[in-house]
Amino acid sequence: MDIDKRKRELVKEFSPALENYSLKTKIWIGCLVAIILVGFYAFLVQLINGHIVTGMRDNVVWGIYIINFIFFVGISYSGAFISGILHFFKTPWKNSVSRIVELITVLSLIIGPIFILLCIGRLDRLHYLFLYPRIQSPITWDIIAIMTDLVGCFIYLYLTFIPDFAILRDNKELKVAKWQKKAYRILALNYQDTTEQRERLHKITRTMSVMIIVLAIVAYTVLAWIFSLTLQPGWNSTIFAPYFIIAGLYSGVGVIIISMYAIRKYFHLERYIRKVHFIAAGIVLLVMSLLFGYFTFSEYFARWFSHKENDVHLLDTLFNRYFWEFIFANYIGVLVPIVILFFKKFRTIKSITFAAIIAVLGLWLNRFLIVVPTLETPYLPIQDTRAEFVNYSATWVEYSLSLTGIAAFCLLFTLLIKFVPIIPMSGIIDYERDQKKYNKRQPKKAVK
Amino acid sequence: MTRCIMKNNKNEKSSTDRRKFLKLGLLSSVTAVAGTSLISNLTSEETSTSKEKIRLLTPDGKMVEVDAENVNKYPEAHITPSESRKGIPDRKFVMVIDLAKCKNARKCVEGCQKAHDLDYNEEFMKVQLIQDNPEASPYWLPKPCFHCDEPPCVTVCPTGATFKRDDNIVLVDNDRCIGCKFCVTSCPYSARQFNWGHKDKFKDTSQPYSPETSVPAAEGTVMKCDFCPDMLRQGKLPHCAQSCPMGVIYFGDKNEDIVTNGDETVRFSELIKDRGGYRHLEHLGTKPNVYYLPAVNRQFPLERGFNVDEDIIERYKDVPYVQQLKKDGKI
Amino acid sequence: MKSNLMKHTFYASFIAILLFSNLGFAQQEEQKEEFDVRKYKTVYKFNSFKQSDNSRLLEVSFIVQNKKDRKDKIPVFEAEIYFYNVLNDEELLLGTAFTSKEGIAKLTLPSSQNYELDEDGFINLTARFIGSKGLKSAKKSLAVKDLHLELNLKEIDSVKTVIVKAYTLTLDSLQTKVPLEEADITIFVKGMLSNMPIKEGSIEDGVFEFEFPTNIPGDGDGDVTVIANIEDHDEFGNVAQEKFINWGSHKITPVKKVKNTLWSESAPLWMYIVLSILLLGVWANYIYTIFNLFKIKKEGKSINLATEE
Ligand code: SF4
Ligand code: SF4
Ligand code: SF4
């Protein structure tokens, strides 16, 4: 059968990535594990000595943990959003990126909440959240939203994996460990790719994709509310929810572009992840950067124009102590990607990736500027407080744990793409099948 | 809670004090024996803790220092965390702070610190130097927790560890607090503190924890001014109001319409009406229960307030007025 | 034991002398450490309070004060104070009390207590601390006359009126009332933390009368406790009388049910509803998806079986 043959071909093409760990991979994994071990040590230090080892103090009670939390969760939600759209609208070029997006979604949704745990003073009492819940608290909403979203994303990711597991299960030539084969067999759920099964799977994947989009919006809105429902001058803003969603998408697209670049380089997937994909993603990034710039401008402009005393105070801090951070986050981080992506001739794979990196870094700093300076300029000026409690500067523990978050993300990503092909094989087959149906009269184009 | 507001049981109380004292072995019927046991106790006492001491004179003319705790406690009034959620019936507590009389003597801060076993650098009551506008003359503003009627800190707490009682008081139950710090970021008055690291005093088991006393504090949880309900239950003023030598802090029950600073007892409503009492940052809609009387007809020049330790003055270094004073070489 | 104590002092003074002669700077430190009761003078006060139930409270405040640094005060703790009723040279022990950590000893004598009166009708009272090796004895006496204070709260022509009457009784067996000629008096309303003065005035010919203010809220039920107090009178000491009446201007209706708000224990109803609907919708979809997955599995199984057969 034609399809079976094609399946075998595809497995053969992707099997090297699944079958062996090259030296490079091993070194890479080793480095990541080392970073994680240091982070684990840092965590122990924090656990034993208490939060005194962080740079957080009575005024700035939330530091880069919370920033990482918003950042990772933002990436996740934007991933869910994008992947939902790709699936729902059957975007033609979705195959090359959809799995990358889905993996990013789930992994960052696992890493993000870990940071909020690091920020909690009494981890031993975490279950109190369920023992004595108060549903008025935005934190409760956030916990419910994150958990629901996590489950949803897992289900969704799994749905997209099933056909590939089936293909891998059915392939006898694949040289992988026994447990891995067994795992494929169990996880493939007797999926035989019959029309009936396929249609059922497509149907539920489609509803889940809508669900995921909705959840992403709801959950990130709730996250934005943690800030905007308080009275703090820099946070109490009605546009925070959409602003956060745009910001999340901005960083999410950025991270997707960066991973596309890395994966393309690493697995030599130039045939699948092509310049068109980068340009398409680049254009999405351009739109997002415009929107993000617009929201950022609206937010700060309104504060500057109406110049309420506390807002002025906040802006003073931003423009003095955090001058360079502010310039990088809200000027360079927005304008450089816009300039690169706006002109056609600048749009090369490398430059688009560069723009993405700038965007992601700028966005992280933007989050920093939302959290820390606001806490440093409360309604009542900080006085009668020991000097070391006034300003925030992160300690090695916090930096190390932040790096650990990134390392854990990369490690899990690496391990997962050792387990399933980074390009969904079933997607390619589906795509080819559809092409055949619709293009009977037209000459067959190269498919991907 | 009838047992709480104690009437005329002074005799009873002094007998419990006596019992406590006896338990310590500080006193027995034969004075000579008492003398030696005092000495031995003193030395062992000193090595073990560096707690707050009070000085007493024994009948045979020896001065002893004993842990304030050992004579200060009222075990019969211990209120458990769940009892403390109810509040004292039919009361609505308010505080009135007379800014015209404040000279940053910081006795309220210290009194509160002593009573709540706080370190030198931990204050439930902070004294701020506020200048409303460039023309206005600055004034000292003692700032406890405002025990808001619509407290944002309570709204955001995910576990109900901080709660609002019927008697106006907002308390923190540090047995329940998970340390998410959301309440700290939500309080617009920066009234909350967090316990960042371990401290020996957290292990103090000499008295059971009660949200009404906030002692002992616990690592990884928040704390703040509690309006001293343990004192109120005994019919006494909060520590800060008691310790202020100027009588700046009035405290009382709004239902009764009576507030007192210890020397003077007045109608709350009249005080607010006659002296133009106001609440700080009213526009935030938190409805505080701490009122201020404006700093008009001051009793002390502002500069008296700089009559404090160097490191305390340093804490005001960002205030423009202080910077000006420093430039002029006045402090 | 005693000798042991002596030894201590001996060694201490020996060392002190050594240090004094050798090191100038150590001297200061030493001085700080050393507590010398002789540097302190005794402040010993004695007062009598006649309370509303006609009992009499005798109170001694016993502290020592540094002769140089007047702020340096130390209460005397657990000193036994003897209270006597004195007539001529005869001392009748009324009771004893120990000083508290504030240095205060209190003795309450019931209203039924019989006192020995002198010919002018004064009760002579003495409070004595016997003294010890370290602390000198102390003694204070006072003489008070027994004053009767009557507090009447009446609505006269629907005007709430406070009437205070004060009188003494003659010593003879008739016990006729002799109105008090003149004394300053203060009327208070009892508060939770302290009593609020509402009127100051003086009793003339045994009576003091005034209108009770209409806007005193009183306690939860509208009850007010009115206190009449004569303070520190030369002849009568402190005399107080109190009474409670339902004259409060406003009564608080107790809040039975707490409204559900953002800051109360339970949330507004709509929050529960919205949250439940949202969660139900999402989880129903999850369950539907998982249910379909099982179906796929089952279908696959039947195909497997079919192919095997
Ligand atoms: S002042 Fe702050 S901590 Fe106190 S009740 Fe109000 S919001 Fe809460
Ligand atoms: S830190 Fe404690 S009291 Fe504050 S919101 Fe969190 S759980 Fe509640
Ligand atoms: S009311 Fe009590 S807890 Fe609050 S500042 Fe005064 S002494 Fe401290």
> What tens digit of pLDDT does each residue of C56-92 get?
999 999 998 888 888 888 899 888 999 999 888 888 8
A-to-C residue pairs, Cβ atoms closer than 8 angstroms: 69
Among A49-63, A250-264, B21-35, B136-150, whose mean pLDDT is lowest? B21-35
- Does the Cβ of B183 fall within 6 Å of ligand 2? yes
The structure tokens 């009761």 sit at: C37
Chain C adjacent subunits, 3+ CB pairs under 8 A: A, B
What integer pLDDT is reported at residue B75 of this predicted model? 47
Confidence of residue A37 (pLDDT cuts 50, 70, 90): very high
What integer pLDDT is reported at residue B52 of this predicted model? 59
How far, in Å, is the centroid of ligand 1 from the Cα of A259? 46
Residue of C nearest to A137 (CA): C262
Domain range list for chain B: 83-293
Q: Is C276 on the interface with A (CB under 8 A)?
A: no
**Predicted TM-score (pTM) of this structure:** 0.84
Instruction: Give the number of the atom of ligand 2 that is nearest the alpha carbon of residue B162.
Output: 3
How far, in Å, is the centroid of ligand 1 from the Cα of B191? 6
| pLDDT surpassing 70 at residue B13 | no
Higher pLDDT, C12 or B228: B228
Tell me which chain A residues have a C-beta less than 8 angstroms from the C-beta of B197. Answer: 49-53
| pLDDT surpassing 70 at residue C169 | yes
| pLDDT surpassing 50 at residue C1 | no
Confidence of residue C308 (pLDDT cuts 50, 70, 90): low
Question: Nearest C-alpha of chain B: how many angstroms from A247?
Answer: 22
Which positions ≥6 away from C151 have C-beta within 8 Å? C162, C163, C164, C226, C228, C241, C242, C243
What integer pLDDT is reported at residue A1 of this predicted model? 53
Q: What is the pLDDT of residues A88-98, one digit of tens each?
A: 887 777 777 88
Bridge-based pairing state of the strands C122-129 and C138-145: antiparallel
- Residue B300, H or E segment: none
Radius of gyration of chain B (CA): 21
Mutation target to probe the C interface, by most C beta carbons within 10 A, among B237, B256, B286, B289 is B256
Percent of the residues in chain C that have a pLDDT greater than 90, as a whole number: 30
Give which of B54, B12, B66, B42 is closest to B234, Cα–Cα: B12
Q: Where does CATH 2.60.40.1940 sit in chain C?
A: 148-245
Confidence of residue B256 (pLDDT cuts 50, 70, 90): confident
CATH number of B83-293: 3.30.70.20
- Does the Cβ of B218 fall within 6 Å of ligand 2? no
Q: Which of residues 215-274 of C touch A (CB under 8 A)?
A: 262-263, 265, 267, 271-272
CATH number of C37-145: 2.60.40.10
Amino acid, single-letter form, for residue B241? A
Confidence of residue A322 (pLDDT cuts 50, 70, 90): very high
**What letter would DSSP give residue A172?**
S
Question: Nearest C-alpha of chain C: how many angstroms from A191?
Answer: 5
Question: C83 by DSSP, 3-state: which?
Answer: strand
- Does the Cβ of B194 fall within 6 Å of ligand 2? no
| pLDDT surpassing 60 at residue B49 | no
CB contact under 8 A, C193 and B235: yes
What integer pLDDT is reported at residue C7 of this predicted model? 52
CB contact under 8 A, B221 and A119: no
Residue nearest atom 2 of ligand 1, based on CA coordinates? B187
What integer pLDDT is reported at residue B24 of this predicted model? 35
Q: Which of residues 176-195 of B touch C (CB under 8 A)?
A: none
Amino acid, single-letter form, for residue A370? I
Confidence of residue A398 (pLDDT cuts 50, 70, 90): very high
What integer pLDDT is reported at residue B288 of this predicted model? 96
B27 φ, ψ to 5°?
-145, 140
What integer pLDDT is reported at residue A378 of this predicted model? 93
Instruction: Give the number of the atom of ligand 1 that is nearest the alpha carbon of residue B146.
Output: 1
Give the whole-angstrom CA distance, residue B196 versus residue B198. 7
Start-to-end CA distance of chain B, whole Å, equals 51
Tell me which chain A residues have a C-beta less than 8 angstroms from the C-beta of B179. Answer: 51, 120-122, 125
Question: Nearest C-alpha of chain A: how many angstroms from B160?
Answer: 6
H helices of chain C, in order, are 2-22, 24-33, 269-308
CA distances from C124 to C43, C86, C237 (A): 21, 5, 12
Give the whole-angstrom CA distance, residue C268 versus residue C262. 7
CA distances from B86 to B1, B150, C272, C293 (A): 10, 17, 24, 51
What integer pLDDT is reported at residue A351 of this predicted model? 94
Class assignment of domain C148-245? mainly beta
What ipTM did this prediction achieve?
0.89
